[in-house]
Structure 1
Amino acid sequence: MQILRERRGMPRTVLAGLLGMSPSWVKQIENGRLQTPKLPMILRIAEILRVRSLSDLTGDQGVEVDLFTGPGHPRLPAVAAAVNAYPISSSDREAPPREHVAARLARAWAARHQAPNHREVLGQLLPDLIRDAQLAVRQAESAAERRTAQAILSEVYSLSQFFVAYQPDASLLWRVAERGMVAAQESEDPHAMGVAAWLTAQAHRDSGPAHFGAADDITMATLEYLTPLLPDAADDVLAIIGALEFEAGYTAARRGDIGSAWGWWDKARAKAARLPATYYHPVTSFSQAIIRAHAVTVAVELHAGGESVRQAAAADATTIPSRPRRSRHRIEEARGYQLDGQPEAALATLNKAFEAAPETIRYNGYARRIVLEETEAKSPERRRRASELAVKIGVLAA
């Protein structure tokens, strides 16, 4: 535990505060002076330290439970092969028209939002889409055409990042994120640059506290570039600015900075209010419908159980059109209920998350942690319900 904590750059006092325990308790656990905590506390420690497998924390190789890395999807090798290919020549095949690739990309985003098995859908579409987008860049006949093709390619990599995230191939995730950033910069398209920065900042933030600074650097630099465009910004650019402002608040919440977290959320809310009521950004989900869901996330990351539940009551999940994003919001609500000491409500909400998009909850470490914790509940009925859900999401065998 001490090694993992120090690797994250987290002081003992910070870990203690997040766990609701004293620094001396943490020190005694690390020094082996206290017995190993029970499963609920181990799972909370694993969540805070972003431990991928419980065996990394317990040292018991018989506890091979992945938390923040979901199962490898069967279509991951095909997507990885398309990303990793290095076609040097322009190919003997003519690239599809850029408009055709852009239309397929738009349909792929729509399919992702509508499908409960969204990773399966993306896994089918991405290999050909990646290859055709790369080919369109290589065969562009003018600088303007090449910039347009690079913007499309960047967004294809953004879509790929949603598929690759939380799968057991961290190097592939970073490859996709970095190539998306490079393509976006080559495109000189403000929206493409904002989207790529948004996803790369998330990758840094999810890597742990030692990388929060890198996440902030990317977010702030991109906001500095995009903010002067606000007076004449199209809806997509306005939305990506709002999404980046929320990301700044998200990272601040992870850091425990209450004022900055809610301050950035307020700025994002102001951007959402300027968007049409029916607008929904296809990549970030930023919209009037999502801003209340973002408030739940801020409260949860600040470990404020009561505020999380209050914000969840004010949010209307049914207005979120994207099935995976609606499922993610339900998971955030469940985290809030768990923080507030309402485990029955947390389990019921996780079942709603599963109904909305099973593949979202299967790959979500927070959901997996709550479900595993409840399989040890004192209530037989709660244990039964948690065990049934654990089997469905793949953390326990039937």
Structure 2
Amino acid sequence: MSSDATPDPYNNPVAFGQRVQIYRNRRGMTREQLAGLLGHHSSWVKKIETGTMRMPRLPEILRLAEVLRVRRLNDLVGDVSAEPHTDLFLGPGHDRLAAVRAALTTYPAPGIREAPTQTYMRAALDAAWAARHEAPNHRETLGTLLPGLIRDAQLSVRQADTGADRRSALILQAETFALAQFFVAYQPDPSLLWRVAERGMAAAQESEDLHAIGVASWLSAQAHRDSGPGHYDEADDVVTQALRLLEPGLEDAPLDVQAITGALRVEAGLTAAKRRQTGSAWGWWDRADRISRQLPPSYFHRVTSFSRAVMGAHSVTVAVELRAGGESVRQANQAEADAIPSRPRRARHRIEQARAYYLDGQQETALATLEQAHAAAPETVRYNGYARSIVLEETTSRMPDRRQRASQLAVDIGLLAA
């Protein structure tokens, strides 16, 4: 995948030697101290950590885990698919991914049970969005709720009695798929992400609801752009088609339609920034900002997070994607994270600030900002490829303090379990 694609948190697994080094740094040990406890010379530890020596045999690995106080063996050895006993180790991915995948790939028979009322579905989705924005570990929250919501949404569409009821059910189903996409994004199953995005778009288009179509287009554009430069044209096409549909009636449109229009303009700007098109990127940001200023100060779009408060966060991302180090830091310093009501979106903003500082050579500040992101929403950091890349890079820093902090953060975000 191109280097301009959003980093896949699973694309660069941590080597065994680097895991040893991370845990050693976390314990505050020198190579000499670790070697002494193991009955080896420090050169043995160096060869292990630099990868010039093959992974030792199981008794030695168990002794390493004991000395380094590693609680789970697979945290130390990582992906050992090329080694024996692979059934003892789990691959990466959220614990609830299998249940969500099963719900998305299983189609209940129409008569299995009566579908819940649309009033119930609306209330259930409202509660799910609220829980998602309030939860520090939003994937755990969504993973618990989604299997039931997905099956209920399917039944609601199948059992709709009239055309109007079916359109309403399709709107709810499209929103359920939007919620699901936040869970499956950055999980180790790209085909599932595309399945969710496509089914969400199909449901939205069949409903003929402008807001639903806008949301599905926003999610589809993100999926295309995150796949790298070869998909930027598709991202632009999706956004262009949606804006052609939404913009003619924008002046009299409901708030949610105005907001999704603004969010789509942001997406166009982010894709332009990925292409290093400075004028176009900031032009789209300005057009989106004009919409945000027309919204009530407290308004917050629950799918896209579009609001007055989030425009500062978008400005940081635009500057970072343009590789403008000084400008990205200026934007990062003036963008207020605490004004964003969603915990995962607030954490994502902190990650973007960390990217800005790292781009500008401020590694200490970047690490401190990632620690703030982790405090706000640990799962957001754990499944973000940019955050993981910075942490992994800093575990090999020549500065002992940075190396120690990065090693601790690597453990905190579960980097070693991947």
Q: Give TM-score scaled by structure 2 length.
A: 0.80
For 2:391, the equivalent position in structure 1 comes to 371
Three-state SS of the structure 1 residue aligned to 2:373 is: helix
Match among 138, 143, 160 for residue 118 of structure 1: 138
Contact 2:268 2:284 in 1 (8 A): yes
**1:318-397 pair list within 5 angstroms:** 318-396=338-416
1:122-158 Cα distance to aligned partner (Å, 9 max, x none): 0000000010111111111100110010000000000
C-alpha distance in 2 between matches for 1:195 and 1:285: 11
Match among 222, 241, 264 for residue 261 of structure 2: 241
Three-state SS of the structure 1 residue aligned to 2:116 is: coil
Post-superposition offset of 1:51? 8.5
C-alpha distance in 2 between matches for 1:97 and 1:55: 46
Whichever residue aligns with residue 95 of structure 2, its letter is: P
C-alpha distance in 2 between matches for 1:321 and 1:174: 28
For 2:96, the equivalent position in structure 1 comes to 75
Structure 2, unaligned runs of 5 or more: 15-50, 56-76, 80-90
1:255-312 Cα distance to aligned partner (Å, 9 max, x none): 1111111000000000100100000000000000000110000001111111111111
For 2:223, the equivalent position in structure 1 comes to 203
Residue 76 to residue 341, structure 1, CA distance change in 2 (3 Å): same
Contact 1:337 1:345 in 2 (8 A): yes
1:204-243 Cα distance to aligned partner (Å, 9 max, x none): 1001100000000000000000001202111100000000
C-alpha distance in 2 between matches for 1:292 and 1:92: 48
For the aligned residue pairs, the C-alpha RMSD in angstroms reads 2.1
Residue 104 to residue 55, structure 1, CA distance change in 2 (3 Å): closer
C-alpha distance in 2 between matches for 1:55 and 1:241: 38
C-alpha distance in 2 between matches for 1:64 and 1:209: 30
C-alpha distance in 2 between matches for 1:242 and 1:218: 14
Residue 279 (1) aligns with residue 237 (2): no
Contact 1:303 1:339 in 2 (8 A): yes
Whichever residue aligns with residue 86 of structure 1, its letter is: Y
Residue 334 to residue 234, structure 1, CA distance change in 2 (3 Å): same
Contact 2:260 2:304 in 1 (8 A): yes
Residue 48 to residue 222, structure 1, CA distance change in 2 (3 Å): closer
For 1:265, the equivalent position in structure 2 comes to 285
Residue 162 to residue 374, structure 1, CA distance change in 2 (3 Å): same
Whichever residue aligns with residue 139 of structure 2, its letter is: R
Residue 109 (1) aligns with residue 129 (2): yes
Q: Greater Rg, structure 1 or structure 2? A: 2
Same amino acid, percent of matched pairs: 62
Post-superposition offset of 1:314? 1.5
Bigger relative contact order (CA 8 A; separation at least 6)? 2
For 2:105, the equivalent position in structure 1 comes to 84
For 1:291, the equivalent position in structure 2 comes to 311
Runs of 4+ in 1 over 3 A off after TM superposition: 45-52, 60-65
Residue 231 to residue 78, structure 1, CA distance change in 2 (3 Å): same
Match among 186, 194, 200 for residue 180 of structure 1: 200
Higher mean alpha-carbon deviation, 90-99 vs 336-345, is at 90-99
For 1:54, the equivalent position in structure 2 comes to 12
Q: Give TM-score scaled by structure 1 length.
A: 0.84
C-alpha distance in 1 between matches for 2:165 and 2:249: 23
